Structure 1
Amino acid sequence: MADAESELLYDNPLIGRYASRAMAERWGPLRKFRTWRRLWLALAEAEHELGLPAAEGDSPRITKSHLEELKAHLDDVNLKRAAEHEKITRHDVMAHIETFREVLQEGARGVIHLGATSCYVTDNADLILMGESLDAICTSLASLIDSLGTFADQWKHEATLGFTHFQPAQLTTVGKRAVLWLYDLVLDLQELERRRDELPFRGAKGTTGTQASFLALFRGDHDKVRQLDQLVAKKMGFSQVFPVTGQTYSRKIDAQILDSLSGLGQSAHKWGSDLRLLAHRQEVDEPFESGQVGSSAMAYKRNPMRAERMCSLSRYLMGLPPMAAQTQATQWFERTLDDSAARRLYIPQAFLAADAILRIAINVANGLIVNRPIIAKNVREYLPYMATENVMMAAVRAGADRQHAHELVKKHSHAVTERIKQGIGVSTELFDLLKAEPAFAKVDFESVLIPRHFVGRAPEQVAEFLDTEINPIRKRYAGKLGQKSDLHV
């Protein structure tokens, strides 16, 4: 299509703006139809190796010369010619069979698709592409975990306000908060790896999954039909096949994979939301480039556009699994074709969205900016309130009545809070008021205002988490980590 004409058409933003070229090409038409040809070759090779007999007599139906001819034309897919055939046949698989046959000699033409149904190429190709995509997603996710783990380690001692209900609570550390994000991602990686490692192949199952056509071709030899199923899978890089299928493999597999990808979206959205809130508090910033514009009208703005985009794409990804679930729920008997059009949309786009999210996430993780002065200022502002429990315990150890000390803290803290809300007070007034009370006369107030005394085991928890959870991932993906990511726009 000419550039001038293509500019008139809708451009999927997942391809034009967000996802990597590698993921977009993996789900592109050329890759799909070349995979179909490799599947036809694998089937023909397996039938040849198992001695598939001719229609009459015992001579082999498929020869080595037939296979060599198939191999010579695996990549020269003519998409335009296939489209012309499909316009007539209204059947994409038949269109590509005819397109393949046109470049072969007469003898080799007859070995394409022998005993197979359309789902032999469509379903198996989808499983191949999903397996490769899951592997790519796992590798990118491991790189994200590695980078965020480095960030957590760097900032494991940096005291910061913790929040419950988005209200200031006890102190934590910047690094400890990062491992909360990390743990969600680790759980996602475990689930995605499981889906990748356990993904089976549809194999050679025939029109309704009974393998009747292959049994006829092998003249009732059940053992060879069983071997055919396994051999084709092995040739295409799979160690296991579905034990049973209808015409299609169970669409529950699609639903389970999309659920796993949705989990990644959930974690990325939570992290992105936290980053947006931290940006509002000016405590942690995402990367911001020298020529970047925050607002077309408000030149001073520095919006968290990466985190916002990550949340937006995550929301899209989280919205896809219900369609896969509905497809699985509405398949009649051995199959219906109402799954096809929807799957062409939500399976590739789920992987493209996950890929795009990880591109942003890796970019952010490698460029997070921690604003220590702002964090310290915010800690100082709320530390007097948080230190009141330690102050009370010090007073009790010095002989004060615990309940009386509690009432004094309650009275003065509420009074200071009211003054702050009126714009005429500061939090440090609380200790001035408590110092004036006889019950607190023996308390060393300065000794209880050191932030690191309020973070508990946060630094140790970070170190332990990195050792037990992150380092094994780093070891597992050694040589594949360190991905960098620049945004398209």
Structure 2
Amino acid sequence: MRKIYNSPFSSRYSSKEMRYIFSDDYKYQTWRKLWIVLAESQMELGLDVSLEQVEELKKEQFNINYQVVEKYEDIYCHDVIAHIMAYGLQCAKAKPIIHLGATSCFITDNTDIIIIKEGLILIRNQILKIISELSNFAKMYIKTPTLSYTHLKPAQLTTVGKRTTLWIYDLLIDLLEINDILSNLKLLGSKGTTGTQASFLALFDNDHNKVKRLDELITTKLGFKESVEVCGQTYSRKFDTKVMNALCNVAQSSAKFSNDIRFLHHLKEIEEPFKEKQIGSSAMPYKKNPIGSERICGLARFIISNNINFHLNFSSQWLERTLDDSSNRRLCIPQMFLALDTILDLYINIINGLKVNEDIILSNVLREMPYIIMENLIVNGTMDGGDRQELHKNMRDLSNSISNYDNININVKDYIVTNILKNFSLNITYEELSKKIKRPEDYIGRSVEQVEEFLENHVELLLSDAEKMMI
């Protein structure tokens, strides 16, 4: 194994659960399940398929003879045919009725839908877990004032908990999209070679009701409520774009979170987990790098750039289908899910181990407080009869004048307070103004209330109903 390429998704990244969903075993066992369901449904509808044949197929579903498959694929250059032949060697009695009336896409496309469904459920459950952990984190730091940033410059105060709700909100949007896809997921069903069900109509001697019933039975037996209403040979690749856009959106939300953590890590306000014996740099022993967040960003870029493949696949399909999407999808679908699975595992690990340095946060807040109070002073001055525009201009001039003293050791707090009292007609004393600068908790607006209302009215309700969302 060391002498051939090994995908990072098979070793370094992704969970065992997601790797199994996209494993050969799960894929080809699902192929055999489809052949079993097809034969069983045909038997129930009166075709010459025996219970003995169906039971033989079931007996060998999980016993895939891969070496035989490889031999046949080398001969026939067709993976579905190779598996039919290999399955037939194990099921001598059932061999004549395997794949009866079906086309390759009955196997491959229905399997893809089943795998996508399982992958989406795993992704959804990971998102729910992250939202739960972020909610706990938001509650813990709901009242902790911190600098907010616009244009990456200090702005009004927020709280650590309020900032956390922004990450939750993005994931809620993503979760609703994934839930919508899962709720409306449709199987390809048994639609025949070009979507007309002609082969099945011939099998059932032009009995349209039995053809429709076959489609319904297969759909129900495989755990779906509906199959697609119309199609060519495949289900519409438009569906792939919808699913992958949803995965891409989760990757974007995760990258936004991780970029925020990287910036806060730089400020030493919030740091991602760092193991006891972890090494940040082979050269610089003091380094503690936010490698988890950086990895999320890198994988998110991979997902976002990979997403274009699905738009190209759909737009490039000709008439009832072309095969140029097959090799592309074989690579891109698993990689999208495996990459996002890795991202969400990293997200969970980071949240569970975040280190919040409240002393550093407070120090950074207090350094900016002389500026932070200016907006409220403008509001108060205006309510006392002043001109809002004039007050804003004078506060702006005062703030800008401090840049002239960058190389001089001045006390910014005293400079601002003294000049405000000297040049502004505000009904406030030096002591009162100095006290305001020392009370950042008075400048967080409705941060606490917003967090409480958001968590109670939206997040906690969602988490309490999580079990109902399970399919």
* Separation in 2, partners of 1:308, 1:197: 33
* Separation in 2, partners of 1:283, 1:24: 36
* Separation in 1, partners of 2:412, 2:9: 49
Alpha-carbon shift at residue 110 of structure 1 (Å):
1.0
Aligned to 1:102: 89
1:437-456 aligned at under 5 Å gives the runs: 437=423, 439-440=425-426, 442-443=428-429, 444-449=432-437, 450-456=439-445
Aligned to 2:120: 134
Q: 2:377 aligns with which of 386, 391, 394?
A: 391
Q: Deviations over 1:362-394 (max 9, x none)?
A: 101111111111111111111111112333455
* Separation in 2, partners of 1:441, 1:198: 62
Whether the 8 Å CA contact 1:435–1:441 is kept in 2: the answer is no
Aligned to 1:78: 65
Alpha-carbon shift at residue 414 of structure 1 (Å):
2.2
Alpha-carbon shift at residue 448 of structure 1 (Å):
2.5
Alpha-carbon shift at residue 199 of structure 1 (Å):
1.1
Provide the alpha-carbon RMSD of the alignment. 1.9
Amino acid at match of 1:245: C
Alpha-carbon shift at residue 411 of structure 1 (Å):
3.8
Whether the 8 Å CA contact 2:72–2:86 is kept in 1: the answer is yes
- 1:227 pairs with 2:216: no
Unaligned runs of 5+ in 2: none
Alpha-carbon shift at residue 80 of structure 1 (Å):
1.4
Aligned to 2:75: 88
Larger CA deviation: 432-441 vs 443-452: 432-441
Aligned to 2:456: 467
Alpha-carbon shift at residue 185 of structure 1 (Å):
0.5
Whether the 8 Å CA contact 1:269–1:314 is kept in 2: the answer is yes
In structure 2, do the counterparts of structure 1 residues 404 and 210 end up closer, same or farther at CA, with 3 Å as the change threshold? closer
* Separation in 1, partners of 2:424, 2:217: 86
Query: Identity of paired residues, percent?
Result: 40
Q: Deviations over 1:274-302 (max 9, x none)?
A: 11111111111111111111111111111
Whether the 8 Å CA contact 1:115–1:206 is kept in 2: the answer is yes
Whether the 8 Å CA contact 1:160–1:173 is kept in 2: the answer is yes
Q: 1:66 aligns with which of 53, 76, 101?
A: 53
Whether the 8 Å CA contact 1:205–1:211 is kept in 2: the answer is yes
Whether the 8 Å CA contact 1:405–1:439 is kept in 2: the answer is no
Amino acid at match of 2:288: R
Amino acid at match of 2:68: R
Amino acid at match of 1:171: L
In structure 2, do the counterparts of structure 1 residues 397 and 205 end up closer, same or farther at CA, with 3 Å as the change threshold? closer
Q: 1:250 aligns with which of 236, 246, 253?
A: 236
Amino acid at match of 2:238: K
Alpha-carbon shift at residue 406 of structure 1 (Å):
5.0
Alpha-carbon shift at residue 195 of structure 1 (Å):
1.1
Amino acid at match of 2:203: L
- Normalising by the residue count of structure 2, what TM-score does the alignment of the two structures yield? 0.95
Amino acid at match of 1:96: H
In structure 2, do the counterparts of structure 1 residues 222 and 273 end up closer, same or farther at CA, with 3 Å as the change threshold? same
Amino acid at match of 1:226: K
Aligned to 2:407: 422
- 1:27 pairs with 2:13: no
| SS state at 1:224 partner | helix
In structure 2, do the counterparts of structure 1 residues 448 and 392 end up closer, same or farther at CA, with 3 Å as the change threshold? farther
Size of the aligned set, in residue pairs, is 466
Runs of 4+ residues over 6 Å off in structure 1: 396-404
Amino acid at match of 2:275: E
- Normalising by the residue count of structure 1, what TM-score does the alignment of the two structures yield? 0.91
Q: 2:144 aligns with which of 158, 175, 179?
A: 158
Amino acid at match of 1:472: L
Whether the 8 Å CA contact 1:143–1:480 is kept in 2: the answer is no
* Separation in 1, partners of 2:90, 2:350: 49
| SS state at 1:205 partner | coil
- 1:279 pairs with 2:279: no
Q: Deviations over 1:5-35 (max 9, x none)?
A: x101111112211100111111111111111
Amino acid at match of 1:19: S
- 1:172 pairs with 2:161: no
| SS state at 1:102 partner | helix
Amino acid at match of 1:205: K
Aligned to 1:352: 338
Aligned to 2:187: 201
* Separation in 2, partners of 1:404, 1:132: 61
In structure 2, do the counterparts of structure 1 residues 354 and 205 end up closer, same or farther at CA, with 3 Å as the change threshold? same
